[in-house]
Structure formats: C-alpha cells, structure tokens
Structure 1
Amino acid sequence: MSTGAEEVFRVAVPSDDGGPATVFEHLWTPYRMAYIRGEGKPTGAHDCPFCLIPQMDDEEGLVVARGERVFAVLNLYPYNAGHLMLVPYRHVPDYTDLTPEEVAELGWFTQTAMRVVRAVSGAHGFNIGMNQGSVAGAGIADHLHQHAVPRWGGDTNFMPVIGLTRVLPQVLRETRALLAQHWPADGAPVPAQGN
C-alpha cells in the first residue's frame, strides 16, 4: 500500500551478458502518474501556476524580481541551484505571441538573471532556453517561460549519473532571498563578472 510518498526498492535484474545479477535502485513515485496522464495540468489562466504566482507574495511564490511585463521566479523543481524561469505576465503559449516590449524585457531579465547568479554564486555558464509546446517538453505549454539554468564545471558528477539524484546545496527560499537581494531594483545593470 502506497502512502503517496517515494519508495525505494532494490530489484535484481540479470545482466545482458547472462552474468551475475545487477542490482539497481528504483525510485517509485506513484504520485507522478497523475502528471503523466495530464491530470491537474492547467487548463487556462484561471489555474495556470505562472498566472497565479504573481498574485502571491514574493517569498511564497519564489519570485526573485518583478518587472512591468515579465517576472523572474525560481523553478520549484530545479536542475541546479539558482535555476530561474523568466515569465511574461501575459498568458501566451508561443514566443511569436509576445509583443516587442515583452521580448525586450524578457531579454533584459535573462541578462540580469545571468549577471545576478554569476555575482552571487560564480556560475561558470548557463543553459538558456524555452520548450515551445508539450511535444517539445514544455511542462506548462500554455504559458511561455524561459529557463536560465546555472552550470558549473563538474556539476554533473556521480550523483546524477550513478545515483540518479541531484544534490542542491541550498534550499529554495534561501536562494530566492539571495538572488532577490542582488537583483537591481532601479533597473541599473549588475556589474558583469567573468564569463
């Protein structure tokens, strides 16, 4: 009987060459089946997380910064510490739906996110991108959002490769507070650090 929590089981699986059994760890996450089936996915602006987050206070919504047309929010399921999403307030699915002003502010927020994360954590590089449509991997396809994922040399170590586990060195609320503290309030550029 599952409580809905993750459960880890050791399962013996024969190797391909007929040799001794190999033991793998399986992480059973039965609550994810609802996500896979599409249950609970947003059906419009009324239940879209990216439409609801701006109505929350910054700490509760993990909002780092708010602009006129775009906001920066920490990813609730980050790839790396400091994984930000830059999101237009307007509920549109496609990059081609943005106005020139939204594109400009999205670009400025992306640059600012990179500068702020470099300043506070010394990121060596970034993965910047957006998945357009569910077939392209967008978890919330109806509301455009761009990912800014900080990267460090060696950040793909044995934990994700062997242990299939990500190690994040800081809780989201602490990361949000640190990034928000360094985000320029007056629109002034953050001093560039080493690329």
Structure 2
Amino acid sequence: MPQEWVPQEGVGTPDGFARLWTPHRLAYIKSTTDTGCPFCRIGRAEPSADADNLVVARGDAVFALLNLHPYNPGHLMVLPYRHVADLEDLTDPESAELMAFTRQAVVTMKRVAAPHAFNVGLNLGHVAGGSLAEHLHQHVVPRWGGDANFIAVVGQTKVIPQLLAETRAQLAGAWEPPGHGGADRD
C-alpha cells in the first residue's frame, strides 16, 4: 500500500499519486546527452557489432534492437536509422518498413517464446513517456499471464529470466526478413 505523501517544502503539492522512482535510468538518459543519440550510434555501427549492440535485425530504412532496460523478456524496439522524432516526418518507405519490422518482431517472438499477448506502441514526445523522444522508436513488449506478479508488484523487482545477449541471439536466429516467407507462413 502506498505511503501517504507528506509534502516537503519546495517539493510540490500533494496530488494523491504514488511515485515510482527509477534513478538507475538517469545514467542512461544522461549518457544520451553526453555522447549523442545512442540509436544513431548503433544504427551507424558495423553489422559485426550487432551482437554487442543488441541489434536483432537490419533493414533498408529501419532496424530492431533489444531494449537495454526491458519491461519484459524480449522487449525490443523498431526504429528508423534516420534521426527523426515525429511520426509524420517519416518517409513512406520508413513508415512501411517500420510496420513490416514490427509485424516481423511479433511473428518472431511468437515463434521463439510464445507470449500470450503484446503491447506495441510509440511514445511520441517526452510528455508521452519517451525518455529518448528525439529518435522515434516503436516498442514491442511481449506479455505473459502473471508477468506483473508478486515480485514485480510488492518486491519492486522485475525478473528477466534470460541474459539480453541470449535473447538477442535467439531472436536474430529466428528473424526472417519481411516478405521472405516467415511472416506469410503464420
């Protein structure tokens, strides 16, 4: 049960909402201002670095990579190579490939891990929850019944049962480029 909020001078006014603080993410957010956009850096990297960068697949206009701070096992993102923040600024080929890759991510995850459902979406702008809102990215989050269980709700700990490198290897190995039979089979 959330503790009653007690205002401290200069901290704000009570609003009835509990807060979930994630100070561990501040280093990640700050690193984006110190070294430029991590998505652009990863997009420009040689394909030989894909395993280290958690890149699952590359296309002509977009690529897919695992989220470094996943909400669930297999949480990945699909994003354009081009540094663009607004959905309406995508070109038609970028938009088409973004959706094709999102579809293939769902097909691949179903094949590899059989999740019960998915959350798929964009956080457009900082106010909408985008911590790296300057570079558009679509989240694909697999969901299983009970994935928000006791340990996550009460223990405030997320259990990720597999190393990111292992998840990346599985997904990359099962990924079939859109239009090459994989998505059409299912």
TM-score by length of 1: 0.77
Identity among equivalent pairs (%): 53
Whether 1:48 aligns to 2:11 is no
Partner of 2:170: 178
Match of residue 101, structure 1, among 82, 85, 93: 93
CA distance in 1 between counterparts of 2:65 and 2:103 reads 14
1:31 Cα deviation after fit:
5.7
Structure of larger gyration radius: 1
* Structure 2 partner of 1:111: 103
SS in 2 for 1:53: helix
Mapped to 1, the partners of 2:83 and 2:27 lie a distance apart of: 24
Matches for 1:13-92 after TM superposition, within 5 Å: 39-42=30-33, 47-54=36-43, 55-56=45-46, 57-92=49-84
Question: Counterpart of 2:100 in 1: which secondary structure?
Answer: helix
Query: What is the TM-score when the length of structure 2 is the normalising length?
Result: 0.80
Q: Distance in 2 between matches of 1:119 and 1:105?
A: 21
| Greater fraction of residues in strand | 1
Q: Which of 129, 137, 151 is the matching residue for 2:121?
A: 129
Task: Report the counterpart of residue 141 of structure 2 in structure 1.
Answer: 149
Aligned to 1:5: none
Structure whose residues are more often helix by fraction: 2
Amino acid in the other structure paired with 2:39: F
Greater relative contact order, per chain length (Cα 8 Å cut-off, separation 6+): 2
Say if 2:101 and 2:178, in contact at 8 Å, map to a contact too. Answer: no
Change (3 A) 1:173 1:134: same
> Structure 1 residues 138, 112: closer, same or farther in 2, change over 3 A?
same
Count of residues in correspondence between the two structures = 164
Any idea what SS the aligned residue of 1:153 has?
coil
**Correspondence for 1:188:** 180
Residue identity opposite 2:154 in structure 1? I
C-alpha displacement of 1:32:
5.0
* Aligned AA (2:37): C
How far off its partner does 1:170 sit? Answer: 0.5
Measured at CA, do residues 34 and 86 of structure 1 come closer, stay the same or move farther in structure 2, by a change above 3 Å?
closer
For residues 42 and 74 of structure 1, the distance between their equivalents in structure 2, rounded to whole angstroms, comes to: 21
Q: 1:176 to 1:40 in 2, by over 3 A?
A: closer
Q: Which runs of 5+ in 1 are unaligned?
A: 1-14, 17-27
In structure 2, the CA distance between the partners of 1:41 and 1:124, relative to structure 1 (3 Å rule), is same
* CA RMSD after TM alignment: 2.4
